[in-house]
Structure 1
Amino acid sequence: MDNRHPGAPKSGQGTVPWAIKGELILNCNCTVFCPCVVSLGKHAPTEGYCQAWAGVRIDEGHYGDEDLSGLNVGLILEIPGLMARGNWKAAAYIDERASNDAYNGLIDIFSGKARGTTGLFKVLVSEFLGAERAPVIFETEGKTRRLIVGKQIHGEVVPVGGADSDQDIVVTNTEYWMGPDITVATATKGRVRAFGRVWDFDGRSAEICQIDWKGPR
């Protein structure tokens, strides 16, 4: 499914230079902690399949000459088994404040068409359920992160406490596609009502990751 803005040119996909820096949060149906981070998808999710929502806050970013800074994106991911075996389903909610060019660029990035860091989506996602404009709110309050996408996604994640309450538990130096350092977290709220999915992942595994993604150079 192509949800690009009507009249948007399709040439240039996969050749446009792009970059995104910011933060990603994700909550899935695994018990704490999701094994995919360390196994890189070679270990099965704790429930045998994966259902997840994610939020991306773009602090700095561009797609070609189009500025993406300050925009947010919400995602839904569904994986039937081992992450590395593909056959994913995915959907995206694009910040309603995005210009038409930014909207189209973000669809290319999060569908994998723009290649680069997120290019694996084009290989692993067999069905892109679609993209919609929506009010996508990404909030940070202390160590708590929240993602609110209309009535479709309402999520809140917090780091899991360690022996030293001032230090988060972080899995470092990984080869995980999101980024090398993943903060172990859990969801205090993980509600999804979107694209026919009815999910509630309160108390389940979550991740917080600083991202530095880029595409063709």
Structure 2
Amino acid sequence: MARIDWYIEGPAYGNCNCGYACPCQFEEDPTQGNCRGFEVMEITDGHFGKVDLTGVKVAILYAWPGPIYKGEGEMQLIIDESASVDQRKALETVLTGGETDEEATHWWVFRAMSPTLHDTIYAPIGMDIDIEARTAKVSIGNVLSSEGRPIKPPHGDGAHRVRIDMPNGIEFSIAEIGSASTTASAAIKLDLKDSYGQWHFMKHGPSGVVH
């Protein structure tokens, strides 16, 4: 059956409970033995069929009791309250792996590994992120607050810069890594302090990352 054509791109930022060198990116078990975190992005160019998605902001909260690949996880979507009904339906489809090739995007994997999908939240999403500088400030209604910064070396001042390069990744090609802290009071609670922060420019379509 033919898929609905869709495309989403834009700056993205995320924070999880792993150490700065998130083992999940290297096919190892997460730092704390479990995985929980969130991601947020602003769609600077996007569509779902004839529905224009440009300008919409979205976020995803997620949690697994162990490594992601063992499943038993939960997810919750947050879509900016300014999105239209059609935009909301389109994004709920894409962000849960719909109209996507099997295992092609991290959204598809997250949903496949999460039998629990909480009700979508519609709230104002404010985000100010700088990928190159590894800085971020995110506020989502009274549900979530997050800040990101460069990693500071323990031996002095300055900012440590490191990237993860994944030519065949299902989430990104290159991501800047920093330090991030997040609190969230949605169905999935977060209380993260100075843990793995990730910045990248996301490009996704039905077949995965657009390189």
TM-score by length of 2: 0.84
Tell me, what secondary structure is at the counterpart of 1:125? coil
Q: Give the conservation status (yes or no) of the 8 Å contact 1:18–1:216.
A: no
Structure 2 residue 30 is the aligned partner of structure 1 residue 45: yes
Change (3 A) 1:122 1:75: closer
Structure-2 residue corresponding to 1:22: 10
Structure 2 residue 130 is the aligned partner of structure 1 residue 132: no
Structure-2 residue corresponding to 1:8: none
Match of 1:156 among 113, 125, 147: 147
Letter in 2 for 1:213: H
Letter in 1 for 2:139: I
Task: State how far apart, in whole Å, the 1-side matches of 2:110 and 2:189 are.
Answer: 23
Gaps of at least 5 residues in structure 1 are: 1-11
Letter in 1 for 2:183: R
Give 1:166 deviation, angstroms.
8.1
Task: State how far apart, in whole Å, the 1-side matches of 2:201 and 2:151 are.
Answer: 17
Change (3 A) 1:101 1:181: same
Structure-1 residue corresponding to 2:200: 209
Task: State how far apart, in whole Å, the 2-side matches of 1:79 and 1:174 are.
Answer: 26
Give 1:161 deviation, angstroms.
5.3
Q: Give the conservation status (yes or no) of the 8 Å contact 1:153–1:191.
A: yes
Q: Give the conservation status (yes or no) of the 8 Å contact 2:63–2:75.
A: yes
Structure-1 residue corresponding to 2:71: 86
Over aligned residue pairs, what C-alpha RMSD do you find? 2.4
Change (3 A) 1:138 1:50: same
Letter in 2 for 1:67: D
Task: State how far apart, in whole Å, the 2-side matches of 1:37 and 1:182 are.
Answer: 11
Letter in 1 for 2:145: H
Tell me, what secondary structure is at the counterpart of 2:33? coil
Task: State how far apart, in whole Å, the 2-side matches of 1:24 and 1:157 are.
Answer: 12
Tell me, what secondary structure is at the counterpart of 1:104? helix
* Same amino acid, percent of matched pairs: 22
Gaps of at least 5 residues in structure 2 are: none
Task: State how far apart, in whole Å, the 1-side matches of 2:197 and 2:207 are.
Answer: 30
TM-score by length of 1: 0.82
Structure 2 residue 164 is the aligned partner of structure 1 residue 179: no
Which segment drifts farther, 121-130 or 71-80? Answer: 121-130
Please give the residue correspondences for 1:94-173 in structure 2 after superposition, counting only pairs within 5 Å: 94-116=79-101, 117=105, 118-140=107-129, 143-160=134-151, 168-173=161-166
Structure 2 residue 51 is the aligned partner of structure 1 residue 66: yes
Tell me, what secondary structure is at the counterpart of 1:204? strand
Q: Give the conservation status (yes or no) of the 8 Å contact 1:85–1:124.
A: yes
Q: Deviations over 1:180-206 (max 9, x none)?
A: 21211111x3111111x4422121111
Tell me, what secondary structure is at the counterpart of 2:46? strand
Q: Deviations over 1:19-67 (max 9, x none)?
A: 111122111112222111122xxx1111100110211121111111111
Q: Give the conservation status (yes or no) of the 8 Å contact 2:18–2:31.
A: yes
Q: Which runs of 4+ in 1 moved over 6 A?
A: none
Letter in 2 for 1:138: M
Q: Give the conservation status (yes or no) of the 8 Å contact 1:34–1:206.
A: no
Give 1:83 deviation, angstroms.
1.6
